[in-house]
Amino acid sequence: MSGKIVKAIKISTPNFLIVGGGIIGLSSALELARRGASVTVLERGACGSESSWAGGGILSPLLPWNYPAAVTNLTQLSCQIYAEWAGHIAGISGLDPEYRRSGMLVLPEFDSGRAMNWGRSHQARIELVQKRDRLPEVVGDGEALWLPDVAQVRNPRLIKALRLTLERMGVRILEHVEVAGIVAGGGRLVRLDTSVGPFEADQYVVAAGAWSKKLLGEQGVQVDIKPIRGQMLLYRAQPGLLRHIVLQNGFYLIPRDDGHILAGSTLEDAGFDKSTSEEVRSGLHANAISLLPQLAQAELVKHWAGLRPGSPGNIPVIACHPKIENLYLNSGHFRYGVTMAPASARILANRIFRREQPFDVSPYHWPEIKKH
Ligand SMILES: Cc1cc2nc3c(=O)[nH]c(=O)nc-3n(C[C@H](O)[C@H](O)[C@H](O)COP(=O)(O)OP(=O)(O)OC[C@H]3O[C@@H](n4cnc5c(N)ncnc54)[C@H](O)[C@@H]3O)c2cc1C
C-alpha cells in the first residue's frame, strides 16, 4: 500500500431507482429487470402495504363501457397479458397470487344497449342474462349483465409473490427507506435524499401512489394526483357461498377461493386520512346482506381503508418529466391500479427504451404548465 488516499469507486451504480413498492413500483421493477436493467426499489414502509394491499383485485373497470379509450386501452392490454404475467410470477416465486377468471355479474341499473355495443366493438363478451339463472344465491330477480371473462387476483398474495420474484431476479428491495426529497440540476435528477442517506442512479421512476405529487414537490406542481379513500369489509364465509363477483350501483362483493368475501367500497376525498368510520361500516354491511343475506351469519373479520392515487378521468401519468430527462412517473391509476399494473409497466419500459408502443400513449403524458 502506498498510503495514497484513493476516492471510493462506485462499482455498481444501479441503473434505475424506483420510489414506491406498491403494485406499480414492483411491476415497473419486474419489467425493467426482464429487459436487463439493474433496479433498486426504495419503499418507505413494507412493500404493498398501502393501496395495493387495500384494493379488491378485480381485473376490470367496474362498468368498462363508461370509460375513455385511454382507460380501455390500458386495462384491456393488462387483461390480455395478466394470466401469463401472474403465471410467470407464480412460477418464479412458488406462491399463488390466485389469478381466477371468476366472472362478474352486473345488476341493474345499467344501460344494456351501451354495454352490449361496447362489448361488440372491444371483443369483450357481455351477455344479457336472467340473474336467477347465473347467481341464484344473490337476492333479486330480473335481467343482469354477465361478463364471463372478468378475472381477479388476491392482491396481498400477488404483492408477496411479486416481491419474492424480484428478489430472485436480483432486484434490490430496500424497505423502511423514505425518500424525503429529489434533487435536480442541469436538466437531470442527480440524487434522492432519503432517511438513510443519498441515493444516485442513471434513471429514476416515481411510483409513490397517492403520495407521488407530494414527493415530487416543485417538479410535480402540474401533476394532478390526490388521495381518494376507499373503505372495505372482509367476511369469512363458507367456500362456494358466492361464485362470481357481483356489482350493483358501485357496490361489489368479491369471493375468494377460501370463502372470504370482500365488500366495498367508498370513494372519499379525505386527504391523507386512512381512518375508517362506523357509519361506513354499517352502510357497507347493510349493502352486503341485502345482496347476500347469508353474510348476516358470516364473521366480519376486518374493516380497513386505503388511499387510491386519484387522477382526472382515471388516467395515470406514465411519462418522462418534460424538463428532467431521467425522471419518470408511473402513477395516478386511481381505481384500477391492480388491473393496469402490467400494461403500465410495459408502456413505461417502452418509453424508456424507445420501443414501439401498442397504442396511442399520448394521454399518459406528464402535464405541462400551460403558457399564456
Ligand atoms: C378500497 C380499494 C379498492 C380497490 N379495488 C381495486 C380493484 O378491485 N381493482 C384494481 O385494479 N384496483 C383497485 N384499487 C386501486 C388500486 O389498489 C390502486 O390503484 C393501486 O394499488 C395503486 O398502486 P400504487 O403502487 O400506485 O400505490 P400504492 O400501493 O399506494 O403504493 C405506493 C407506495 O409508495 C410508497 N411511498 C410513498 N411515498 C414514499 C416515499 N416518500 N418514499 C418511499 N416510499 C414511498 C408507499 O409506502 C406505498 O407503498 C382499489 C383501491 C382501494 C383503496
DSSP notation for 232-279 = EEEEE--TTS--SEEEETTEEEEE-TTSEEEEE---B--TT-----HH
Rounded Cα distance between 193 and 211, Å, is 16
The Cα–Cα gap between 320 and 63 comes to 30
At 58, give phi and psi (nearest 5°): -70, 130
As for how many domains the chain has, the answer is: 2
C-alpha of residue 227 to centroid of ligand 1, in Å: 10
Three cell numbers, residue 4:
495514497
Is 243 found in the same domain as 206?
no
For residue 152 the three cell numbers come to 381477479
Distance CA 352, CA 319 (A): 9
Residues 202 and 306 in one domain: no
Cα–Cα distance measured from residue 24 to residue 210, given in angstroms and rounded to the nearest whole number: 12
The CATH code of the domain that includes 270 is: 3.30.9.10
Tens-digit pLDDT profile for the chain (372 aa)? 344 444 433 435 459 999 999 999 999 999 999 999 999 999 999 999 999 999 999 999 999 999 999 999 999 999 999 999 999 999 999 999 999 999 999 999 999 999 999 999 999 999 999 988 888 888 888 999 999 999 999 999 999 999 999 999 999 999 999 999 999 999 999 999 999 999 999 999 999 999 999 999 999 999 999 999 999 999 999 999 999 999 999 999 999 999 999 999 999 999 999 999 999 999 999 999 999 999 999 999 999 999 999 999 999 999 999 999 999 999 999 999 999 999 999 999 999 999 999 999 999 999 986 655
Residue 136's domain spans which residues? 101-150+226-311
What separation in Å is there between the alpha carbon of 78 and the centre of ligand 1? 17
List pLDDT tens digits, range 46-58.
Answer: 999 999 999 999 9
In this structure, is residue 186 part of a structural domain?
yes
Shared-domain flag, residues 162 and 239: no
Q: Is 61 in the pocket of ligand 1 (CB under 6 A)?
A: no
323 and 304 in a common domain: no
Residue 96 maps to a domain? no
> Of all protein residues, whose CA lies closest to atom 35 belonging to ligand 1?
20
Task: Kindly state the cell numbers that stand for 27.
Answer: 411491476
Assess whether 72 and 196 both reside in one domain. yes
Q: Is the pTM of this model over 0.85?
A: yes
In a domain, 6, yes or no: no
pLDDT tens figures, 184-208 = 999 999 999 999 999 999 999 999 9
Give me the residue label for grid cell 362498468. Answer: 63
Asked if 206 and 328 touch (Cβ cutoff 8 Å), the reply is yes
**Same-domain status, 129 and 184:** no
Q: Which of 51, 58, 174 should be mutated for ligand 1, with most atoms under 8 A from CB? A: 51
CATH of the domain at 351: 3.50.50.60
Output the residue whose Cα is nearest ligand 1's atom 33: 20
Q: At what angle do helices 69-93 and 155-168 cross, to 10 degrees?
A: 60
Domain-embedded: residue 22: yes
Residue 338 located in a structural domain: yes
57 touches ligand 1 (CB under 6 Å): yes
Q: Are residues 139 and 76 in the same domain?
A: no
Q: Which atom of ligand 1 is nearest to the CA of 26?
A: 25
The reply to whether 3 falls in a domain is no
Distance 197 CA to ligand 1 centre (A): 25
Distance CA 183, CA 167 (A): 28
